[in-house]
Amino acid sequence: MRFAPREPSKEGAVKLGALLFFALIEGAMRDLFSLDRHLTDAERSLARTTRAFVDHTFRPLVNDAWERGYFPRELPKAIGALGLIGCNLQGYGCADLGDVAYGVACRELERGDSGLRSFVSVQSSLVLWPIHTYGSDEQKNRWIPGLQSGELVGCFGLTEPDAGSNPSAMTTAAERIDGGWILRGEKRWLTNGTIADVGLIWAKAEGTVRGFLVPLADANIERRTLGPKLSLRASESAAITFHDVRLNDDALLPGVKGMKGPLSCLTQARYGIGWGVLGAAEECLDIATEYTTKRCQFDGKPLASHQLVQAKLAEMWTSLTASQMFALELGRHKSAGTLEPAQVSMVKRHNVHAALQTARTARELLGGNGILLEYRVMRHAANLETVHTYEGTHDVHTLVLGQEATGIAAYS
Ligand SMILES: Cc1cc2nc3c(=O)[nH]c(=O)nc-3n(C[C@H](O)[C@H](O)[C@H](O)COP(=O)(O)OP(=O)(O)OC[C@H]3O[C@@H](n4cnc5c(N)ncnc54)[C@H](O)[C@@H]3O)c2cc1C
């Protein structure tokens, strides 16, 4: 579909059946700065494959999953079979397609739902990446092939009931014993935590923060689903309590110590978010554009013929285009090895906020239909409330940038 305004309809109000409406959506906002021109053939091909997967496999599942609040159990292996998990990593079955390709895949996944992209972000950036980067050869051989193929599911435990924006205040601790460790504490908000086989759990050990690969099928591990949630409903979040869990020596991730460990993982995941939210915003803008060019009110004119509506569409399109350029530039830096955490903070903060505003405006432009699940925009808006909060809240990233700009930390 093109962004150019349609001929105003001479007919009266048009009743839009949802089926007809979605048959009309071709889903291609005009790419004014030619984002796609900057992609390689391999990246474009991955985008097409991922979009086809989302359209044919995920879309038939998402409304039920979102309404009833679960992550469809058939998806991990299906996503793994596409080669998307850890597709920017090399070896152990990973596809080695590069960072922009990974970003492009996240964009297509989040066009489907932020929960779907969150599954891949956690699995790829928060579990696979740290094992790949900081793990022993034995850990890599044990965990990566299964995680990459979706045979195994992983989760990431940093947040605690009393340590969210300031994770260094964590109280989960690992005590050294002969031949291993005893893990005690509680983690909260672990995405995939209800279905995961293994958790990368961050704990204080011998005075510093360390990562532990914890097999979750253990009688001393208690998991409970958090909810019901009003956002990211097609993704499962867990609280996990570790009651004196015995870990062998080989559970410890040897290659990193201190907060650098979890924070470097978050940098990877925030990169994927910066790209992913483009998909949610693009879908909302496409839907709002299509809807307002078809829906007529006042003298048979389409909503899109009114200046107030055009102003909203122009704002959504501009902020989306700025976000696309940001994501592409971030991808170039990551590929070149020049990525800085402050760049990631800026893009996560900007792109998520822009996508959330776009989704809210799309919801508004669809009037009453905007709150129906079948019109998708409110699902995206509700999901993006979580994306605004997790992986560093909007305001925490503001403080990161404030510190970068002034040299003054304003967290406490
Ligand atoms: C659906 C979902 C999935 C998640 N998945 C994971 C996961 O897989 N693994 C994981 O470890 N965590 C996960 N999280 C946790 C997430 O990262 C935290 O919710 C987030 O870091 C914020 O922490 P908090 O909720 O404790 O909020 P708080 O830290 O209590 O913050 C509450 C509010 O206060 C503001 N605030 C905090 N500090 C300051 C300050 N110094 N100055 C000004 N304002 C401040 C915040 O911006 C926010 O608006 C998830 C969260 C959600 C909702």
pLDDT in tens, 253-268: 999 999 999 999 999 9
Q: What share of the chain is helix, strand, coil (3-state, %, to 5)?
A: 55, 15, 30
What is the CATH classification number for the domain harbouring 73?
A: 1.10.540.10
Given this model, what pLDDT does residue 34 score?
84
Assess whether 391 carries a catalytic annotation: yes
Atom of ligand 1 nearest to the CA of 411: 41
Q: Is residue 194 part of a domain?
A: yes
CA nearest to 392, candidates 239, 228, 266: 266
Do 178 and 99 share a structural domain? no
The answer to whether the CB of 280 falls within 8 A of the CB of 359 is yes
CA nearest to 93, candidates 52, 128, 54: 128
Do 312 and 234 share a structural domain? no
Mean pLDDT (the chain) is 93
Do 142 and 160 share a structural domain? no
Work out the end-to-end distance of the chain between its first and last CA atoms, rounded to an integer number of angstroms: 49
Q: How many domains does the chain have?
A: 3
User: What is the spatial distance between Cα 94 and Cα 144, in angstroms, rounded to a whole number?
Assistant: 8
Do 288 and 319 share a structural domain? yes
Residue 226: CB within 6 Å of ligand 1? no
Tokens encoding 51:
């979009």
Residue 190: CB within 6 Å of ligand 1? yes
Residue 262: CB within 6 Å of ligand 1? no
Domain-terminating residue out of 149, 172, 187: 149
User: What is the spatial distance between Cα 221 and Cα 236, in angstroms, rounded to a whole number?
Assistant: 17
Instruction: Flag residues of the chain having pLDDT under 70.
Output: 1-29
CA 161 – ligand 1 centroid, Å? 10
Q: Is the pTM of this model over 0.75?
A: yes
Q: What residue type is 181 in one-letter code?
A: W
Strand spans (E) along 309-362: none
Do 232 and 196 share a structural domain? yes
Given this model, what pLDDT does residue 295 score?
98
HSE-up of residue 396 (Cα within 13 Å, Cβ side): 12
Residue among 186, 212, 390, 399 whose CB has most ligand 1 atoms within 8 A, to mutate: 390
Report strand pairing: 237-248 vs 198-205: unpaired
Residue 106: CB within 6 Å of ligand 1? no
The torsion of the CA quartet 85, 91, 95, 99, rounded to 10 degrees, works out to 80
The torsion of the CA quartet 224, 193, 395, 204, rounded to 10 degrees, works out to 90
Do 265 and 395 share a structural domain? yes
Given this model, what pLDDT does residue 7 score?
34
Residue 119: CB within 6 Å of ligand 1? no
Atom of ligand 1 nearest to the CA of 410: 41
What is the CATH classification number for the domain harbouring 179?
A: 2.40.110.10
Q: Residue whose CA is closest, atom 29 of ligand 1?
A: 165
Given this model, what pLDDT does residue 14 score?
36
Tokens encoding 203:
């704990």
Find the domain containing 363 and state its range: 261-406
Q: Is residue 15 part of a domain?
A: no
Given CA atoms 169, 175, 181, 184 in this order, what sign does their dihedral have?
A: negative
Residue that has been written with the tokens 């001479």 in this structure: 10
Domain-terminating residue out of 257, 292, 327: 257
Do 350 and 279 share a structural domain? yes
Residue 298: CB within 6 Å of ligand 1? no
Q: Is residue 309 part of a domain?
A: yes
Given this model, what pLDDT does residue 57 score?
98
Given this model, what pLDDT does residue 29 score?
62
Candidates 108, 110, 290, 391; catalytic one? 391
Q: Residue whose CA is closest, atom 41 of ligand 1?
A: 411
User: What is the spatial distance between Cα 155 and Cα 214, in angstroms, rounded to a whole number?
Assistant: 10
Residue 390: CB within 6 Å of ligand 1? yes
CA nearest to 394, candidates 383, 407, 404, 384: 384
Atom of ligand 1 nearest to the CA of 191: 8
Q: At what angle do helices 377-389 and 114-121 cross, to 10 degrees?
A: 40
Given this model, what pLDDT does residue 36 score?
87
User: What is the spatial distance between Cα 27 and Cα 22, in angstroms, rounded to a whole number?
Assistant: 10
pLDDT per residue as tens digits for the range 164-205: 999 999 999 999 999 999 999 999 999 999 999 999 999 999
Q: Residue whose CA is closest, atom 27 of ligand 1?
A: 164
Atom of ligand 1 nearest to the CA of 163: 26
